[in-house]
Amino acid sequence: MSEFLAGLDRNMVVEGDVSAILPFGVFVALDGAPGPVAALVRIPQISWERIDHPGDVLAVGDRVRALVLHVDLEREQVSLSIRALLPEPPPREKTGSEVLLEMQVEALRRKLLES
């Protein structure tokens, strides 16, 4: 197992199947691993969009591609990101209330700097 993990580098693209879904993320069984590897994709690393539960977008057995974020050789754990391989969505337009809030914050900032 140690040799397999030592062969994983940060920013390497790996593939595998979703093996478990938990409220905080999903575990992925990596291709070529000689045994179970704790390869975790935390919920913010699944999608660019906000999701409430990983089960809303993934199911056990789904095939995924992911980017290696971190390898912990001592704990035999791997952190992955599916989101890093997805195209970044275009910025959304601000709502009227967000624009108004920004204007109020800027006015307050200027007032504080003048005093």
Interval 63-107: pLDDT, tens: 999 999 999 988 889 999 999 999 988 888 888 888 899 999 999
Quick check: 36 pLDDT over 80?
no
CA nearest neighbour of 5 among 27, 26, 34: 34
Look at residue 23 and tell me whether its pLDDT is greater than 90: yes
pLDDT given at position 34: 83
Collapse the DSSP code of 45 into the 3-class scheme (helix H, G, I; strand E, B; otherwise coil) and give the result. Answer: helix
The structure tokens listed for 104 are 């109020």
Per-residue tokens: 83: 């989101």
More confident residue, 93 or 1: 93
Reply yes or no on whether the pLDDT at 48 is more than 70.
yes
Residue 106 has a pLDDT of 94
Mean pLDDT score, 12-20: 95
What average pLDDT does the segment 18-22 reach? 96
Report the alpha-carbon angle 66-62-21, nearest 5. Answer: 85
Residues 6+ apart with CB under 8 A from 78: 5, 8, 30, 37, 38, 39, 40, 68, 70, 71, 72
The closest of 82, 10, 72 to 38, measured between CA atoms, is: 72
> What's the average model confidence in pLDDT over 31-48?
90
**1 pLDDT exceeds 70?**
no
